[in-house]
A and B are shown apart, each in its own frame.
Chain A
Amino acid sequence: MNLNYYSQLIKTAFRALNATRRRSLLTMLGIIIGVSAVIIIMAIGAGAQSLILSQVQTFGSNLVGVLPGKSEKNGPPASVIGVSITTLTLDDAEALRQKNNAPYITAVAPFTRGVSTLTWREQKYDTSLTGTSYDYLGVEGGEVTEGRFFTKEEETGIARVLVLGSTVREELFGQNEAVGQVVRLKNAGYTVIGVMAARGTVAFQNYDDQVFLPITTMQRNVAGVRHLGLLRAKVDSDEHVDETVKDIEATLRERHNITDASGDSDDFSVRSAQDALNILTSITNGLRFFLAAMAALSLLVGGIGIMNIMLIRVVERTREIGLRKALGARRFDIMAQFLVEAVAITLSGGIIGIVVGEVLSFIIAFIARQLSYEWPFSFSLLAVILAVSVSVAVGLLFGLYPAAKASKLDPIEALRYE
């Protein structure tokens, strides 16, 4: 079709919108809110997702976790539902340290956790106890700022030594020297041998508000258990993660006398950090798109507003339609004119919505960064293209009925309309 024809239609549409500026803007509000909400939600989702992922990746993706009890690959671990499973032991951890069992593992950290109260002089403080192994730092990283971490000898010797998280040190000792002090835990004295550097919250675990002690001491003297809650192993490189997962499964099956190699009879489950990342990504993606779909609902409501206002416009301009028909406009011409007008409203609304959404997303990212979260602002071209095409589609969809109504008007009656 002729270019001039469509440029005339577009000109006419914007002239009509301009003549009823305030009303057009009010009509656009639904679209503006809908589009900006979708964009903001997508941006917040992306920001939160990368925040979560960066937390997990702090450990590196070459970590493998072993949980007691069998669990579905993508489901929650069995221990989450509150069942205490005792199948994983310290001997298992030791077996995984053997190079002939799992050649690519560089360090193994078994965990038995608990909560208790520490007392130093008059100071009392409730905190988490993490019983782990001497090579813990090789698995989860972290720095010791005062003193040192406990040794292999202290672990085998069930030594009563503690390494404090920075918050615990602050709460108990304040300005005082911490290393060398003896704190009371369950009516026994423990010597503080080190303090960890502040690390903040990583993977939703507050690393500073906890105390590290040899797992043997934790199991015998504090918790009174023989099993592990969790075991983490560091693999030398990303390429060896999958192979190591298989090594761990084979080793543990052998140790636990499981002959079924299918995994159905396992009393443990092995997960790599990559699995965890994949699960988190799919959960957060699901949330993002669900929320975006909710926001998109407002576009539907906005579309109904467009239809309403377009029906009013058609009635108001009945005489104009009659005139245009008298001058030779066919049904298609009238239909096209009102469709272009409806799209002009929704597209303008969509573009304003994109600008509003991107600006607000940027402000949110900016504030999050000020609060020292790792929150990237990403301008999503996909979201913009999506918003533009959805706006156009809403205009076409909801403009169709009013435009069809206009195109069917009888020219004589329309010309006579007062």
Chain B
Amino acid sequence: MSALPFDPWFTDPRDPALFEALQEGLPLVSRPYAAMGERVGYTEAEVINRLREWRLSGLIKRLGVIVRHRRLGYRANAMVVWDVPDTEVSQVAGRICQYSFVTLCYRRPRRGSEWPYNLFCMIHGQDRERVESQIRQLIEGCGMTAWPTATLFSTRCFKQRGARYVPSIETVSLESIEPA
């Protein structure tokens, strides 16, 4: 038997279809796991078991309601970037993550003089002034005043949805385009 793609997460031939169904979202019916199972050939108990295993093994980082923050008034979405010396980046990131208004923090490669930044964080807020003051708080609180930085607010969201990783099954998503 040939190996399934995305081993070790997928160990059963039905797993890719179950994952795809999960990325589309749980059906809003009384027995959602049974409905998903019916589509992919698993029983309800097997679906629950697979999802539990994926959660324990870390494939599912969280399972729950995925909110569209822009629709809920969170329109001040800032990507803040810094050029932090490589030797200090982990330590600084640890301090950044202490701030509850920071939702994501990543290290990425620099790209020459036009993009010298290697540390990224995301802040989602309701109004721009408050987010700007949170950024100042972050820079001072984490001792980052000396490093080059840029703040990129998003002005329009053209698309926001869960990733679809299985290229053989492509469905049009109702949520694929969110108006500005």
Whether chains A and B associate is no
Q: State the B residues within 8 Å of A (CB).
A: none
Residues of A participating in the B interface, judged by any CB pair closer than 8 Å = none
